[in-house]
Amino acid sequence: MIVNERQKDLGNFMVGRLLPFRKKRQVGPFTFIDHMGPATIGPHKYVDVDQHPHIGLSTLTYLFEGSIEHKDSTGANEIINPGDVGFMTSGKGVTHTERTPKHLRNGEVSTMHGYQIWVALPKELESMEPRFDFIKSSDIPSWDEGSIRCKLIAGEGFSRESPLQGYSPLFMVDIEATDKATIDLRDKINGEVAIVIVHGSITDDGETIEAGQMLISKTDQECSIDLGAGTRLLLFGGEPLPEERFLHWNFVSSSKDVLEKASLDWQQKKFPKVPGDDTYIPLPSMGR
C-alpha cells in the first residue's frame, strides 16, 4: 500500500500529512504522522505553535535539521536538536507549546526538518499521569550494516532495545544508505510495518517509492527492501492495539465520549497550563 503526503498549511509552514488516511487509520500503535519541512527559518518566520492540548497519546518529535523548544504543563522545558527524541505522554491531559529557540532567532537563515508522530496509548493507560521523556541522540543505539547506518529511535528491533520503549510493543528506526543496498527485515522487527521515505527512493516488487511517500506492508513482516544511494527512511510499526481509536483535533481515545469531554474541557479552559504561558489555540469547528 503506497500513501502520498497530503499538504496542509499551518501558518508559516506547509506540513505533509501521512497518517491517518482513508484506508489505514493506524500502523501498530502509530496513529498520526506529520512531516515538518524542510522549511526555511529566518527573520519573521519561525515555529510558534501556541498552547494546545492532548489526551490519550504520546507525541514523538524527531528532527533531522533545526531545533524546537518544547514546553508543557508538566513543567518540562527542553530544546530538541537533530537526532534527539522528545516524547511527551499526555495521558489524561496535557498542554504544550513548540517554538523556535531564542538562539535561532538571530536574523540568520536556517532549516527546520523533521517529523512529529503520535503514538496511541493502550486503553488501560489512556488516563495515566502526563510525563515528558527526553533522550539525547548520543544515548540512542546506532550501528552499521554494510553501507547502511541504523538508529533505533524507539522500541525493540534488530536484536536491540532503545532507551525509549513506549507503552506497547513498537519500533521506530532511522535508516540511511550511503550506497545502493538491500536491507532484510526478516526476524528483525515484529508487528505491522510502514516505511516513510525521507529522501531518495526504495524499490519493492519492481515498483519505486520516492520521497514524500509511505509504504505500508500488507503482511506483518516485509522481507526486504532495496534502497537507492543516499536514501534515508523511517521504519516504524508494531503490534496493533486491540480497540479502535478515534481522533478529534489533538485528542485520541478509544471512547468518543472521552473526546467530547476533552473538547468541552478545553473550551472551558480546564486543562493544566504551561507555566508562564497564557496563549490559547481555540478548538476548531472541525476535527482533524
Give the domains, in start order, of the chain with CATH numbers: 2-238 (2.60.120.10)
Q: CA-based Rg of the chain, rounded to a whole angstrom?
A: 18
Question: Grid coordinates representing 267?
Answer: 473550551
H-helix or E-strand spanning residue 264? helix 256-267
Q: Which residue has the cell 481515545?
A: 253
Per-residue model confidence (pLDDT) at position 229:
94
pLDDT of residue 184: 87
The confidence score (pLDDT) of residue 15 equals 47
C-alpha distances in angstroms, 50 versus 252, 260, 280?
A: 20, 22, 6
Output the CA torsion sign for 57, 69, 131, 275. negative
pLDDT at position 194, please?
Answer: 86
DSSP string, 120-172: EPPGGGTTPPPEEEEE-GGGS-EEEETTEEEEEEEEEETTEE-S---SSSEEE
∠ Cα 7 58 177 (to 5°): 60
Q: Which residue ranges of the chain lie beneath pLDDT 70?
A: 1-24, 218-223, 286-288
Query: Hey, what's the cell of 85?
Result: 527524541
So what's the pLDDT on residue 288?
41
As a whole number of angstroms, the distance between CA 19 and CA 6 comes to 9
242 vs 124: CA distance, rounded Å: 12
In this predicted structure, what is the pLDDT of residue 285? 82
d(CA 29, CA 176): 24
pLDDT value for 205: 72
pLDDT of residue 12: 45
CA–CA distance from 9 to each of 77, 116, 220 (Å)? Answer: 27, 15, 34
What pLDDT sits at residue 36? 86
